[in-house]
Amino acid sequence: MEESGTVTTHPFLDLPPLSAARFAAVEGRVARLLGTRQDVLITQGEALLPLEGAIRGAAGPGTVALNVITGPYGQTFGDWLRDCGATVYDLAVPFHTAVTAAQVREAFAAHPEIDFVSLVHAEAATGNTNPVAEIGEAVREQGALFYLDAVASVGAEPVLPDAWGVDLCVIGAQKAMGGPAGVSAISVSERAWARMAANPNAPRRSYLSLLDWKERWIDAGRTALPHAPAQLEMLALEACLERIEEAGAEAVMARHRAAALATRAGAVALGGGLEPYVYEARDAAPVATTLRVPSGVVASELVAGALAVDPSLPLAAGGGALAKEMVRVNHYGPAAAPETVRASLSALAAPLTGAGVAVDEAAALRAAERAWGRAGDAS
Ligand SMILES: *Cc1c(COP(=O)(O)O)cnc(C)c1O
């Protein structure tokens, strides 16, 4: 019998407090990953926290925003911007493509008063990725503040706020970084801080307030945390940054690029009418590959059939209206691996065959392997 008063130890529990110095060191590692000299703040919640906090901090009734919609998140950002009283011009492009810098320039020409641009870098939900470097050039010429959701791109492809002129760059660790979902980070330029400081509607004394953290944490020399940090998530973020540094960020990104190319090539070779949802390979995100199902096949049923083969595979049907037509292969984090791509293609082949669709599984596996090899040679 246990002595009364003893507590069973557990690896997640009874940890020593996370020090301010360790918290700041994790922020420094995120800054290095992003190659940024801007202030990096680790926000104590899922990425929606800094995504919303940055918009509510920077936008107000005087803001004129260009909101680029290439998937479901762009829709949400437009809602927040309107909520803040901003004038919002939506630039929506079909989910099977990416937005171009030329389209952004056209919007500036039509509305020269635009002073804020919101953009999602890569969309895991739709499988596209946008040319942020080129768009950033146009935004710089316009002099607008540039807000970027890089949650689904970081770790899968370069995310370079300083080089691209991004003023507010939000990342999360739960996709290609292979880390926790409960913390996120944002890099903030001097311009963006100034815009927030001048905004009377920017949240203050609020969980959404980035300015509170600037004053109480960054400007105070990162010596005392304003409140108890999300300790487990911070440790997990530190571990995931360590793992990326050990492998090399380039190698992690190359693995995601290879997984996307292999999945795309494999799906095409599988045949039977399964097609890449994003038409052009250059617009397809390295983080996840979306596929359009053959006519007569319901995507959510196909996914259910594939998961019956192996429930651990990173397969999902599209969200909302896309549930009928889109399959998502979420080959990110540890799933950006040749065996996961192979197993995903095989698992999709079985229910397609069952539905009477003629597919060539062996050809798909060969094509995926070749594409992975070519991607490796190119990196
Ligand atoms: C995944 C993702 C997020 C974070 O959303 P969760 O669904 O909570 O993971 C934010 N933005 C984009 C573009 C994403 O793909």
What's the chain's Rg over C-alpha atoms?
22
Backbone angles phi, psi at 347, to 5 degrees: -70, -30
pLDDT at 376: 75
The string of pLDDT tens digits covering residues 306-335 is: 999 999 999 999 999 999 999 999 999 999
Q: Which two tokens stand for residue 174?
A: 């739960």
pLDDT per residue over 256-282, tens digit each? 999 999 999 999 999 999 999 999 999
Residue 366 CA, ligand 1 centroid: distance in Å:
32
pLDDT given for residue 378 in this prediction: 57
Residue 379 has pLDDT above 60, yes or no: no
Residue 3 has pLDDT above 70, yes or no: no
Q: Write the single-letter amino acid at 86.
A: A
**Residue minimizing CA distance to atom 11 of ligand 1:** 151
Residue from 69, 73, 119 to probe ligand 1 pocket by mutation (most atoms less than 8 Å from CB): 73
Which residues, including other chains, have CB under 8 Å from residue 279's CB and lie 6 or more apart?
Answer: 96, 97
Both tokens assigned to 107:
């919007």
175 Cα to the center of ligand 1, angstroms: 8
Under the banding of pLDDT at 50, 70 and 90, the label for residue 112 is very high
Between CA 181 and CA 194 the distance in angstroms is 29
Question: Sheet of 275-276: strands edge to edge?
Answer: 275-276, 289-292, 326-329, 315-317
Domains parsed from the chain with CATH numbers: 15-246 (3.40.640.10), 249-378 (3.90.1150.10)
Residue 2: its pLDDT value, please?
53
Residue 5: its pLDDT value, please?
Answer: 82
The secondary structure of 281-312, three-state, reads HHHECCCCEEEECCCCCCHHHHHHHHHHHCCC
Write out the E strands in the chain: 39-43, 64-69, 87-92, 116-120, 145-149, 168-172, 184-188, 275-276, 289-292, 315-317, 326-329
Residues with CB under 6 A from ligand 1: 46-47, 73, 120, 123-125, 149, 151-152, 172, 174-175
C-alpha of residue 272 to centroid of ligand 1, in Å? 31
Rounded mean pLDDT of the chain?
96
Residue among 51, 154, 174 whose CB has most ligand 1 atoms within 8 A, to mutate = 174
